[in-house]
């Protein structure tokens, strides 16, 4: 409903509208890294499917409005993003690991920790989105915006422990259903169209994020 309401508003005002879609539309990908023309490997009835399918449905609506009404749309598929001002209890892996490390609690890894993600610092994401909004109406996307640097959950936990100086132990728990084993964006299209690629390495972005969490949430 939210997507339809915003599309209706954009149509009335003839405004350009951006959809913040997600790499989750690729599901647990059988193609790696994931280019925009990959249709995905998705479980439509899994425990997280309401999120994935909601985003896929919104993409469909955006392209329907573009085709039927000539609405200028931009659809970006955002891969894992992190940085200062994340909520400490948002359930994302970066905030989980940092809060656990700063509090000296065990760091929780699901499965053996070999599953990978690619983490994009928030400033890089915003820059990519702004550049995309400045392109001509013929460029609708979908466009991957993310960092192609790929890390295992074990590597991420070890980086967080090193950067926080924490002595938290790492504990393993059962892997949730439909947890993607690999996730890395193919950003060739964004590089070519926007002359954009991420500038902030993971260690630097994590250090900035840890400083924020230490200041705001840990006494």
Q: How many residues does the chain have?
A: 219
Q: Which residues pair with 170 in a beta bridge?
A: 107
Residues with Cβ within 8 Å of residue 195, at least 6 apart in sequence: 131
Q: Cα–Cα distance between 124 and 81 in angstroms, integer?
A: 9
Is residue 51 flagged as an active site residue? Answer: yes
Which of 51, 65, 82, 110 is labelled catalytic? 51
Q: Minimal CA–CA distance to 139: which of 149, 127, 129? A: 129
Q: Is the peptide bond before 33 cis (omega within 30 degrees of 0)?
A: yes
On whether the CB atoms of residues 150 and 84 are closer than 8 A, the answer is no
Q: How far is CA 184 from CA 79, 110, 124, 152, in A?
A: 8, 19, 16, 11
Q: So which residues are the catalytic ones? A: 51
């Amino acid at each position: 409903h939210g997507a339809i309401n915003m599309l209706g508003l954009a149509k009335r005002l003839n405004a350009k509208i951006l959809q913040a879609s997600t790499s989750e539309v690729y599901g647990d990908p059988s193609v790696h890294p994931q280019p925009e023309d990959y249709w995905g490997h998705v479980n439509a009835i899994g425990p997280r499917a309401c999120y994935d399918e909601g985003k896929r449905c919104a993409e469909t609506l955006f392209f329907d409005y573009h085709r039927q009404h000539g609405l200028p749309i931009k659809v970006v598929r955002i891969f894992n993003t992190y940085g200062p001002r994340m909520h400490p209890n948002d359930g994302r892996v970066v905030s989980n690991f940092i809060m656990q490390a700063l509090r000296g609690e065990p760091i929780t890894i699901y499965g053996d920790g070999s599953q990978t993600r690619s983490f994009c610092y928030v400033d890089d994401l915003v820059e990519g989105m702004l550049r995309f909004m400045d392109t001509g109406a013929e460029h609708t996307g979908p466009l991957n915006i993310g960092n192609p640097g790929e890390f295992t959950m074990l590597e991420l936990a070890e980086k967080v422990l090193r950067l926080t100086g924490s002595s938290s132990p790492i504990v393993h728990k059962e892997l949730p259903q439909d947890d993607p084993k690999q996730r890395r964006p193919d950003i060739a299209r964004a590089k070519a169209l926007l002359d954009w690629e991420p500038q902030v390495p993971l260690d630097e972005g994590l250090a900035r994020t840890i400083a924020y969490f230490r200041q705001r949430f840990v006494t």
